[in-house]
């Protein structure tokens, strides 16, 4: 009789352990798939495993998560592949809530596993045509941040719409997605140079950059430097490599388009560059870019006020930092302000700091200078190394600013044992 009871208890313990490890593995894959950083995956999952009574360790890279579980001197390692990863702030918000509920024992691991499966199987909030329109709206708004005027805004809209339509079509197939940056750069250059004959005297580089702004890997570049600074060398190196490949593809596509027009003498006259936009135009651009980023990051419409505030802090913080200590180092001040505001909001609402932080970082557009450097390198191989050096300084400045903000005001309160 006692043997039967012992065997039954052992079976129940193993089934419970299986549910817990299955939940942890599913949560790890979901967090990685929808854009969570290495620190945001490994730390919270270790704490959740400890609360669930599971001895576990996690190792996250941009394309996979390794989860190792130990039970009675036996170790099991699970590999979760996440090739189709991308930023999805609404899904990350829901996953963070589920992980917090299981960690604090408000829900069981079985309930958490069911929620993870439901969340990851849900479709995107915004249909494809809204994402295309957001690309056009974002191109117009970011052309203002890049120093454009009315002509640049008008020219950037069709370029952004074309790139958004191409991105929507390409991302439905993995083989097409691999050529997205290359083809997008070529089409953006060809369309911009063609518009130069219809709407003359606008700044060509500003329109090309604005049209491609949502494809530029500025956020990936910043996260890669941040993970290297946190000693996550594998994840950081992988992100940086992916960002460099994306920049090279975009730059090569633009260079080919420009070379074709140059060969046949079709390059229109270059319009003059402009200074920073006025306060009213900047305010309109902040609202427009916030709407575009809300769609492209799949955020909830009720968070639009938070996104607008984050983009405003980034845009005006960068201006203030440039006026105070220079445009390159001044980005540190903008990153500190953005990080403090995002972490304070996260502590007050118990929601992920990424909801305001990601759109704010996108508004700082560190990838724009990186793309310009790669493009210049492919065309003439002079002057581009200095520009790429400035990009790394900007990315490093963003990381330093965010590290200072996290040290001064962490986004999460420390957990206490019950």
Count of CA atoms in the C-beta half-sphere (13 A) of 372: 20
Q: Which of 258, 84, 266, 254 is nearest to 183 (CA)?
A: 254
Q: Which residues contact 154 (CB under 8 A, 6 or more apart)?
A: 199, 202
pLDDT of residue 114: 94
| CA 110 to mean position of chain CA atoms | 30
- What whole-number distance in Å separates Cα of residue 240 and Cα of residue 404? 22
Express each pLDDT in 243-297 by its tens digit.
888 888 888 888 889 888 888 888 887 766 555 567 788 889 999 999 999 999 9
Residue stretches of the chain with pLDDT short of 70: 1-17, 84-85, 271-277, 327-328, 365-392, 412-418
Q: Which of 212, 262, 255 is nearest to 367 (CA)?
A: 212
Two tokens at 76? Answer: 């099991």
Look-up of token digits 């699970």: 78
Q: Which of 130, 92, 15 is nearest to 353 (CA)?
A: 92
Q: Are 232 and 37 in contact (CB under 8 A)?
A: no
Q: Please enumerate, as own/partner, the contacts of 314-318 that have beta carbons within 8 Å and a separation of 24 or more.
A: 314/338, 314/360, 314/361, 314/363, 314/364, 315/145, 315/282, 315/285, 315/286, 315/363, 316/282, 318/364
Strand partners, 1: none
Express each pLDDT in 300-317 by its tens digit.
999 999 999 999 998 888
pLDDT of residue 178: 79
Two tokens at 182? Answer: 């290359």
Q: How far is CA 161 from CA 167, 184, 298, in A?
A: 10, 11, 18
Q: Quote the pTM value.
A: 0.85
Express each pLDDT in 31-66 by its tens digit.
998 888 888 899 899 999 999 989 999 999 888 899
- What whole-number distance in Å separates Cα of residue 325 and Cα of residue 344? 25
Burial tier of 161 (Cβ tally within 10 Å: 0-12, 13-18, 19+): buried
Strand partners, 75: 70
């Amino acid at each position: 009789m006692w043997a039967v009871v012992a065997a039954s208890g052992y079976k129940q313990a193993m089934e419970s352990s299986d549910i817990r490890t299955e939940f942890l593995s599913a949560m790890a894959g979901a967090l990685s798939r929808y854009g969570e950083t290495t620190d945001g995956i490994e730390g919270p999952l270790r704490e959740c495993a400890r609360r669930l009574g599971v001895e576990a360790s996690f190792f996250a890279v941009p394309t996979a998560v390794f989860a190792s579980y130990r039970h009675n001197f036996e170790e099991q390692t699970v590999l979760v592949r996440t090739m189709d990863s991308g930023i999805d702030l609404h899904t990350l918000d829901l996953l963070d809530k589920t992980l917090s509920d299981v960690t604090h024992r408000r829900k069981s691991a079985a309930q958490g596993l069911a929620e993870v499966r439901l969340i990851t199987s849900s479709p995107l909030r915004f249909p494809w045509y809204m994402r295309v329109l957001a690309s056009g709206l974002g191109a117009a708004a970011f052309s203002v941040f890049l120093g454009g005027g009315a002509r640049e805004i008008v020219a950037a809209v069709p370029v952004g719409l074309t790139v958004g339509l191409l991105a929507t079509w390409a991302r439905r197939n993995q083989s097409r997605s691999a050529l997205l940056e290359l083809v997008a750069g070529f089409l953006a250059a060809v369309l911009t140079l063609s518009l130069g004959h219809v709407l003359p005297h606008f700044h060509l580089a500003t329109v090309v950059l604005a049209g491609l702004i949502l494809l530029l890997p500025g956020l990936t570049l910043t996260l890669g430097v941040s993970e290297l600074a946190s000693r996550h060398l594998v994840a950081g190196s992988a992100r940086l490599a992916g960002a460099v490949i994306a920049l090279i593809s975009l730059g090569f596509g633009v260079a080919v388009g420009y070379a074709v027009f140059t060969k046949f003498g079709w390059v229109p006259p270059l319009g003059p560059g402009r200074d920073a936009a006025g306060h009213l135009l900047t305010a309109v651009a902040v609202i427009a870019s916030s709407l575009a980023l809300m769609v492209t990051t799949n955020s909830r419409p009720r968070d639009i006020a938070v996104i607008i505030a984050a983009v405003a802090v980034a845009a005006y913080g960068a201006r203030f930092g440039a006026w105070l200590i220079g445009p390159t180092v001044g980005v540190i001040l903008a990153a500190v302000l953005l990080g403090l505001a995002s972490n304070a909001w996260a502590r007050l609402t118990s929601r992920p700091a990424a909801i305001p932080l990601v759109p704010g970082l996108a508004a700082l557009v560190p990838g724009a200078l990186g793309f310009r450097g790669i493009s210049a390198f492919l065309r003439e191989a002079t002057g581009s190394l200095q520009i790429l050096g400035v990009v790394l300084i900007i990315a490093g400045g963003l990381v330093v600013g965010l590290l200072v903000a996290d040290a001064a005001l962490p986004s999460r309160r420390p957990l206490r044992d019950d």
